[in-house]
Structures are given as C-alpha cells and as structure tokens.
Amino acid sequence: MRAALRIAQQAAVPLVAILLGFLVAGVAVAITGADPSQAYLGLFQGAFTNKHAFTESLIASVPYVFLGLAVATGFRAGLFNIGADGQFYLGALGGVFVGFSIHGLPGIVHIPLAILAGVACGAVYGGLPGFLKARFGAHEVITTIMLNYIAYSLSDYLINRGPLGDPHSSAPKTPFIDPSAQLPIIFADSRLHLGLLLALLAVPLMWFLIERTTIGFRIRAVGLSPEAARSSGISVARTMVLVMAISGGLAGLAGADEVLGVSHFMPPSFSIGYGFDAIAVALLARSNPWGILPAAFLFGAMRNGAGFMQLQTQVSADMISIVQATVIMFVAAPVIVRWLLRLREVPAESLQITQPEGVGAAPKT
Amino acid sequence: MVSMRAFRAWMVGVMAVALIATACGGSSGSSTAGSSCSKTYKIGLVTDVGKLTDKSFNAASWQGVQQAASDKSLCVSAKYIESNQPTDYRKNMETFVDQSYDMIVAVGFLMADDTLAEAKAHPNVKFTIVDNAYDAAPSNLVGLVFKEDQAGYLIGALAGLLTKTNTVGQVLGLKIPPVQRYADGYLAGVKSTNPNAKVLTVYQGPGDGAAFNNPAWGQARANDEINQGADIVFGGGGNTGNGALIGALQKGKTCIGVDVDQYLSYPDAAKCLVTSAEKHLSVAVKTIITDAVQKKWPAATLTFDAKNNGVGIAPYHDYDSKVPADVKSKISEIEKKLADGSLQTGVTI
C-alpha cells in the first residue's frame, strides 16, 4: 500500500509533464491550422491500433531503452553523458563491420560477436571522456558533445566511399550484413526482432548492477558525493571511467542492435538525435532503470505513431519534438508542476535527476 | 500570497484556453479528389530524410503529386509522410500499404534498396522512385531518371556565349552517373558555342567525408577556378555546389545552379545566378501518376529529357537584361533541337 502510494507520487510529476507536453504541442498544432484532436487520434492509431502499429512501436522503443539506460547510468554517478548519440554511431559501425565483413559463421556466434563489437566500440568511445575527466578534469559535457561531432564525421568518412562503403552502390551506405548476423524476428509478419528481449533483459540487469552490487554502490557513492566516496576509499577516477564505459557500451549496444535488427546496413546519417532524446527518457524515468521502460515506450510509440499522424492530418512529425521538449522542461523543473498540482509532501527522492540534495524541497505556499 | 494564487489561476486559465484550442482546431489541408469520381486513386509519397522543406527533390516531387491531385480528371488523392531517419523508409511505405494505397512515390536514390524490397513484398501496389534506375526491378516498380547531360549542355552553351575570359568552371559533387552527365553535358555545351573556351572541372574526391555536403570545399574550389580566370562557375553537387555559388558571388562572378531553379530555392546566391540546369521532377512524378491512373503503366525505367520537358533551363531572373537577345534566342534554339532530337549531346553515360 505504502509502496503503491510512493510509486504514484513519484510518477505524478512525469505524468503531468507528459500531459502538459501534449497540451502545449496541441496548441502549436492548432496554430498551424490543423485539428489537434485528429492529430492525436492519428498518433494513437499509428502507435497502437493500426496493423503493425504496436510491434513497430516496440521496435522504435528498443533503442530508447538501451540509450535511456546509458544516460541514466551516467546520471547515477553524477555524470552527464551527452555523447550517447556518438557512442550509438560507434556501436553501429562496430556492429555493421562485424556483420558484413565476416562470413560463414552460424548466427549463434555471429550475432553475439557483432553485438560485442558494437558494445566494445561504444564503451571505448564512452570511456574516453570518462578518462579525460578522471585524469585531466575535462568536463564530460564538453568532451562528449565534441566527440559526437567526431563520431558523425568518422561515420561519414568511413561510409561515404571510405573503407566501410558499399563498392557496389552509388548511394552512401555500407554493404548489407550477412544474414547470419541479422537478429531473428520474434513475431511473425512483423519486423519485431530479438533486440526487444535484449532490452527487456538489460533493465533488470542494470537495476541489479546499480542497486545490488559493489560496483553499483561505488557508482552511487560517487554520484552522491565524490568527496565522501574518495575519503571512504573508493577510487573516484576509476569509477568515472567505468561508468562512462558502461554508459557508452549501452549506447553502442543500441547502435549495433539497430543495424542487426532493423536496417541491416548503415547509412551515414543513422540517428536523428536518438542520443539526445535519450536524455529526456532518462530524465522522465528519474534515472530509475525500471522507469526507463515506460519512458522509452512513450518515446518509441510517439515516434512510430507520428508517421500515421502525418498521413491522416499532414501534421509534421516534428510535433513530437515539441511534446518531448516540453516534457523535459517540466520534468527538469518539477517545482512548477508540483506547484500547479499543489503537491507539497513529496519525498525528496522523487526530485532527483542526479543528486538527492540537488533540487531541494517543495516551496511552501 | 495573493499574487501567487492569481498566477496559479492565470496558469489554469492558460491551460483551459489551450484545451479549447486543442478541441476546436481547424481542418487539415490535404489534396483530395473531386466528388464526381467513382473511385479515388490513392497516392502516398514518402520523403527521404531531406523532408518536404528541402526546396529540392522532395519538394519538387510532392509538387508533381499535387499537380496530379489537382487534375480533377485523374481522380487522385494524395498524402505524404516525411521520414525522420533512414530506418523509417520501409515503415513509412508500409504504413501506406496498410492503408490500401494504390501507389507509393519514393524520393531519391537513398531509398532505392528499401523501395525495391517493398515493391517485391507488395506486388499489387505500384511503386515509383525518383532519380533511380534498377538493373532488374519487378513490374510494379518504375524508376524515374533524367538526361542531365541535356540540361548541362544548355547551361554550357550559355556559359560559352557569356564568358568574357574564355574560361568557365564547374565544381561538382561525387563522380556518380547523374553528376557526370551534368558535367560532360556542360563541357560539350561550352565547346559547341565557344570551341576555344577552357573548361575547368573539379569533382569531390571519394575520400571526402561530406559528399555533396561540403560547402567550404566547394567555395574554395570555385575560388581556385576564378583565380585561374573563370568568370562563370557551375555548382553541381548539393550543398557542395551551393558553396561554389557563394564563392562566385563573393568574387563578383556569375554562377549557375543545379537541379531546381536555385534563384528561388537558394536566394543566398540569387545575385550571381544567371540560370540553373533543371530536372523537372514534378513533371516526371505527374507523368508516372497519370500513366498509373490511365492504366498505361510503363514496363521499364522512364527517362525524362528535353523532349518530354523532363529537363530544361531556368529563367534568367535578374540577369534577364544582362543576357543579350541573340544569346537567348540561340539557347532556345538549342533547347528546341534537343527536344526534337536533331541535336545530341554526345554524352553516353
């Protein structure tokens, strides 16, 4: 009973933020002259009730689960990983390279190998800013943003007629991966692939890692207070590198999973801001691994439903971005939402993004 | 306290207004067929990631669809879906298929593989793709391609007549067939009107990470060519070409655009644009839709050239007074000859 109440209280702010997001976006739609109720009806049908809609929403949610976990893990150690998008690219590059360059392996070997390559590429690329921070104090926000651009340019170079380009195509893309590297379809007459199960598995694993292991304890300790963690004998530097590597590895997993499960090849502009949407997913979930699931599903469903919404009402899919941006704004400023709701007694925990002392208690009115 | 309460009331008011606005919004503006039609032919267009606002391929293709939709005799209704990322292409086409659309228009060679896969999976739906040809395609899939060399020939002939330094340049994207056709046509066009003129040509190398999207490189190459005496520069290669136009503009030289009338689509370079080599994507798209509706679906790739108004040369706009009348008449004469087939560009790629 108490637990249910606590969950309800924790979910109140995100839920209201989502509602406000839809409201604000609805106004924007109305201003452009379209009918918001029709738009949202189309969004709903496109995300849930149409043929293929639900499975496509699940497919679209998978990368958000991995990337949301990636950003959330960084948050737990007080690190802001803005580089998930770049790590996603590196993971996709690693996955696609192993996918198309090796032949003759059975799927049971080829798939894990390609996924591992993606995770490894992402982990190295994420670990690098962690190392730069631990060793030289370079702020991870700056370095991860910059590393994103390097990742974009690197994939552009490698794929646009570079060593990873498809010599038989005039389009800038990599060759198709071997059929043995493709993630199996788990639901007939759909594109729903094994990645969904991996995502569902990743959530409890990350929860266990963070909440129930020594490593997780160190991560949380560094997030709460690096000074205290240091005085109690935890190597803050090592923990930072490790967290960023785990975060990057998860983002890399998302990239590899998209290549192996959905596209089966990689074009140079592979993600339109997945890594940035993931920040919103993590914020919405309050960096709680379990919270990532509904948050990722919301984002995946919206992104998937947007296509049908546009077909029905010709409202641009960019409308989704307004919802997302508003949600972030209200989640990041929960004080506004709580004040609107006249919520006063909220456990300090539920305000956290990175640190419990961070945002402070509800203002007294 | 009072002001707090007032503000909260105000916020609630804003939300109420928002709700009302949400509930009473206007209607959507899509293209629908007239009521006199017994059956409507449903067409869905899927853009590539450039989206409809690209002022180029996607915009022009949708324009062609709209022209078909506004032709009441065709009884066509049309909708579009813009793709946010490459993994959306198949999904978006599939969305139209699931809604029992009759025909799907895919824009751009980036969608080539996905369109082929969709066409194979849905043999009862017609598919067409702008600016791509297949070696082997199922009968329900038709590619639309253009004779860029004729458009290149036209602007080349113009450049040959207008140059005062007897040197003209071209800055191009990757050396892929459509770009090469433009370039070789340009060369042949210059030589046809000015055999002594020098043509400076530069392609983006295959190692350039930003193929068709490196304006800085394009601008630098335009500067090189101008330093070597060129007074007219043709920019043929997406954003790379746009950079070349800007390079010519800044040096006070004349420039020539590509694909669409860039005077309209790229106003930044309007001051130096004498004209643009055009592919009439809207003509091509409208043609294939008309063929589909009238059950004249072609058996193979459709090629668009000067004969069927598939390629051409854009209006002179601000340069109209600066281009001598005899040059204009010569260009329209060449255009007529290309159209009736009495003149060949000699480009065979």
Q: Over 50: is that where the pLDDT of A303 sits?
A: yes
Percent of chain A with pLDDT strictly greater than 90? 69
Interface test mutation site (partner A, options B47, B48, B53, B87, max chain A beta carbons within 10 A): B87
The pLDDT-based confidence of A349 (bands split at 50, 70, 90) is: very low
Q: Over 80: is that where the pLDDT of B25 sits?
A: no
Q: How many CB atoms lie within 10 A of CB A360?
A: 9
A41 CB within 8 Å of a chain B CB: no
Taking residues B138-146, what's their average pLDDT? 96
- Structure token pair of residue A54: 């639900």
What is the least distance, in Å, from the CA of B163 to any CA of chain A? 34
Task: Give the CA angle between residues B149, B151, B155 to the nearest 5°.
Answer: 110
**Inter-residue contact A336 to A69 (CB < 8 Å):** no
Evaluate whether B41-146+282-304 and B148-278+316-340 have a shared fold: yes
Report the number of distinct structural domains present in chain A: 1
Q: How many CB atoms lie within 10 A of CB A136?
A: 8
Quote the pLDDT of residue A354.
Answer: 45
Quote the pLDDT of residue A342.
Answer: 67
Q: Over 60: is that where the pLDDT of A357 sits?
A: no
AA letter at A32: T
- Measuring CA to CA, which residue among A213, A237, A279 is closest to residue A127? A237
Q: What is the DSSP letter of B261?
A: -
pTM across the whole model: 0.80
The pLDDT-based confidence of B123 (bands split at 50, 70, 90) is: very high
- For residues B138 and A166, which has the higher predicted lDDT (pLDDT)? B138
Cα separation, B52 vs B56, in Å, equals 8
Q: Is residue A357 part of a domain?
A: no
- For residues A329 and A27, which has the higher predicted lDDT (pLDDT)? A27
Q: Over 60: is that where the pLDDT of A329 sits?
A: yes
Could you read off the pLDDT of A18-71 as tens digits, one per residue?
Answer: 998 999 999 999 998 899 999 999 999 999 999 899 999 999 999 999 999 999
Cα separation, B188 vs B191, in Å, equals 5
Reduced to 3 states (helix: H, G, I; strand: E, B; else coil), residue B236 is strand
A262 CB within 8 Å of a chain B CB: yes
B41-146+282-304, which class in CATH? alpha beta
Cα separation, B331 vs B314, in Å, equals 12
Residue A85, phi then psi, degrees to nearest 5: -65, -45
Of A52, A162, A270, the CB nearest to B98: A52
Q: Is the ipTM of this complex over 0.95?
A: no
Query: Which residues on chain A are in Cβ contact (under 8 Å) with B48?
Result: none
Indicate the burial class of A137 (C-beta count within 10 angstroms; 0-12, 13-18, 19 or more).
exposed
Q: Over 80: is that where the pLDDT of A332 sits?
A: no
Could you read off the pLDDT of B180-211 as tens digits, one per residue?
Answer: 999 999 999 999 999 999 999 999 876 665 66
- Contact: B23, A37; criterion CB under 8 Å: yes
Quote the pLDDT of residue B155.
Answer: 97
Q: Is the dihedral of CA B336, B340, B346, B347 positive or negative?
A: positive
Query: Which residues on chain B are in Cβ contact (under 8 Å) with A190?
Result: none
Q: Is residue A324 part of a domain?
A: no
Cα separation, A60 vs A54, in Å, equals 10
Reduced to 3 states (helix: H, G, I; strand: E, B; else coil), residue A81 is coil
Quote the pLDDT of residue B49.
Answer: 81
Q: Is residue A93 part of a domain?
A: yes
Q: Which helix (H) or strand (E) holds B254?
A: strand B254-259
**Inter-residue contact B219 to B240 (CB < 8 Å):** no
Taking residues A142-153, what's their average pLDDT? 94
Q: How many CB atoms lie within 10 A of CB B156?
A: 34
Q: Which helix (H) or strand (E) holds A114?
A: helix A107-136
Q: How many CB atoms lie within 10 A of CB A276?
A: 17
Query: Which residues on chain B are in Cβ contact (under 8 Å) with A28?
Result: none
Its domain, for residue A246, covers 59-300
Quote the pLDDT of residue B137.
Answer: 93
Cα separation, B3 vs A365, in Å, equals 11
What stretches of chain B show up as alpha helix (H) in DSSP? 2-23, 57-70, 88-98, 112-121, 148-162, 177-193, 215-227, 238-250, 262-265, 281-293, 325-340
Tell me which chain A residue has its CA closest to the CA of residue B12: A340
The pLDDT-based confidence of B7 (bands split at 50, 70, 90) is: low
- Contact: B8, A340; criterion CB under 8 Å: yes
**What does CATH list as the number for B148-278+316-340?**
3.40.50.2300
- Contact: A272, B109; criterion CB under 8 Å: no
The pLDDT-based confidence of B16 (bands split at 50, 70, 90) is: low
Q: Is residue A283 part of a domain?
A: yes
Task: Point out the least confidently predicted range of A95-99, B13-17, B252-256.
Answer: B13-17
